[in-house]
Amino acid sequence: MRRLRFLAIALALCVAPACGSSAPPPDETPPPQAEGGETTTTTAAPASPWDGLDDAALVARAREMAVARAHEHDASVDLAQRTAWASGPAESVPALGDRACEQLLNLAVTDVAAGDLDQAEAMVRLVRAHARNRNNAFAGNTLLSVITRRRAAAAEGASPESEAAAVAAVFRQLPRARFGAATVAFQLYQQPEQIAAALEQLHAQIVTLDTAVGALFTTHVLGDVVAHRETYLAAIQTVRAENDARPADTDYAFSTVDLARARDAQPVVVAVWDTGVADDLFGADRPLGDRLFTNAAEQPNGQDDDANGLVDDLHGVISDPDAAQTGFTYQPSADVLTQYGPFLRGVMDLRAGMASTEAAQRVLALMRTATDRESLDTLEMNLDAVGEWAHGTHVAGIMLAGIPQARLAIFRSAWAGEARIYHHRGPTDAELAAERANVEQIAAFIRAHHVRVVNASLGFEEDYVADALANQTDVYQTPEAVMARAREIQAHRRATWQQIFDACPDTLFVVAAGNSNHDVVEYGEVSASLTAPNLLSIGAVDRFGNWATFTNSNPEHVRVFDFGVEVDSVIPSGEHVPLSGTSMASPNAANLAAKLFSLDPALTPARAIQIIAETGTAIAAPFNGVIVHEANAIARVRRERRRPAGRRAPAAH
Per-residue confidence band for 641, with pLDDT thresholds at 50, 70 and 90: confident
- Can you spell out the DSSP letters for 6-42? HHHHHHHHHTS-------PPPSSPPPPB-TTS-B---
Determine, yes or no, domain membership for 585.
yes
The boundaries of the domain holding residue 71 are 52-245
Looking at the structure, tell me whether residues 195 and 327 fall in a common domain: no
Looking at the structure, tell me whether residues 576 and 527 fall in a common domain: yes
pLDDT (0 to 100) of residue 26: 34
Looking at the structure, tell me whether residues 187 and 275 fall in a common domain: no
Question: Among residues 611, 593, 603, 608, which one has the least CA distance to residue 270?
Answer: 593
Is it the case that residue 6 has pLDDT exceeding 50? no
Q: What is the pLDDT of residues 225-249, one digit of tens each?
A: 999 999 999 999 999 999 999 999 9
pLDDT (0 to 100) of residue 648: 52
Beta bridge partners of 512: 538
Q: What is the pLDDT of residues 374-418, one digit of tens each?
A: 998 899 889 889 999 999 999 999 999 999 999 999 999 998 877
Is it the case that residue 567 has pLDDT exceeding 60? yes
Q: What is the pLDDT of residues 478-507, one digit of tens each?
A: 999 999 999 999 999 999 999 999 999 999
Rounded to a whole number, what is the distance in angstroms from the first to the last CA of the chain?
29
Per-residue confidence band for 319, with pLDDT thresholds at 50, 70 and 90: very high
Please state the separation of Cα 398 from the chain's center in Å: 18
3-state secondary structure of 563: strand
Spatial distance between the Cα atoms of 252 and 647, rounded to a whole number of angstroms: 35
Looking at the structure, tell me whether residues 225 and 273 fall in a common domain: no
Looking at the structure, tell me whether residues 298 and 241 fall in a common domain: no
Per-residue confidence band for 8, with pLDDT thresholds at 50, 70 and 90: very low
Count how many Cα atoms sit within 13 Å of the Cα of residue 295 in the half-sphere of its side chain: 26
Looking at the structure, tell me whether residues 408 and 556 fall in a common domain: yes
3-state secondary structure of 474: coil
Is it the case that residue 651 has pLDDT exceeding 80? no
Q: Please check whether residue 473 is in contact with residue 203, taking contact to mean a CB–CB distance below 8 angstroms.
A: no
Q: Let me know if 274 is exposed, middle or buried by CB neighbors in 10 A (0-12, 13-18, 19+).
A: buried
Is it the case that residue 11 has pLDDT exceeding 50? no
- Can you spell out the DSSP letters for 572-638? TTS-EEEE-SHHHHHHHHHHHHHHHHHH-TT--HHHHHHHHHHHSEEPPTTS-SEE-BHHHHHHHHH
Determine, yes or no, domain membership for 615.
yes
Beta bridge partners of 562: 540
3-state secondary structure of 528: coil
Q: Please check whether residue 627 is in contact with residue 562, taking contact to mean a CB–CB distance below 8 angstroms.
A: yes
Determine, yes or no, domain membership for 122.
yes
Strand 567-570 with 316-319, pairing: unpaired
pLDDT (0 to 100) of residue 27: 36
Is it the case that residue 171 has pLDDT exceeding 90? yes
The least confident of 1-10, 360-369, 599-608 is 1-10
Is it the case that residue 21 has pLDDT exceeding 80? no
pLDDT (0 to 100) of residue 646: 52
| Among 195, 210, 245, residue at a domain's last position | 245
Determine, yes or no, domain membership for 19.
no
Looking at the structure, tell me whether residues 276 and 416 fall in a common domain: yes
Looking at the structure, tell me whether residues 285 and 236 fall in a common domain: no
Looking at the structure, tell me whether residues 318 and 198 fall in a common domain: no
Per-residue confidence band for 364, with pLDDT thresholds at 50, 70 and 90: confident
| Among 193, 211, 245, residue at a domain's last position | 245
pLDDT (0 to 100) of residue 181: 81
Determine, yes or no, domain membership for 99.
yes
What's the chain's length in residues? 653
CATH number of the domain that residue 639 is part of: 3.40.50.200
Amino acid (1-letter code) at residue 25: P
Determine, yes or no, domain membership for 465.
yes
Per-residue confidence band for 350, with pLDDT thresholds at 50, 70 and 90: confident
Per-residue confidence band for 645, with pLDDT thresholds at 50, 70 and 90: low
Looking at the structure, tell me whether residues 130 and 73 fall in a common domain: yes
Determine, yes or no, domain membership for 311.
yes
| CA-based max dimension of the chain | 82
| Among 210, 245, 280, residue at a domain's last position | 245
Q: Please check whether residue 205 is in contact with residue 213, taking contact to mean a CB–CB distance below 8 angstroms.
A: no
- Structure letter (DSSP) for residue 221: I
Which has more confidence, 513 or 52?
513
| H and E: helices and strands count for the chain | 23, 11
Looking at the structure, tell me whether residues 558 and 509 fall in a common domain: yes
Average pLDDT, whole number, for the chain?
89
The number of folded domains in the chain is 2
User: How many C-beta atoms lie closer than 10 Å to residue 449's C-beta?
Assistant: 20
For the chain, helix, strand, coil in percent to 5 are 50, 10, 40
Determine, yes or no, domain membership for 555.
yes
The least confident of 34-43, 95-104, 382-391, 487-496 is 34-43
Looking at the structure, tell me whether residues 202 and 293 fall in a common domain: no
Which has more confidence, 560 or 309?
560
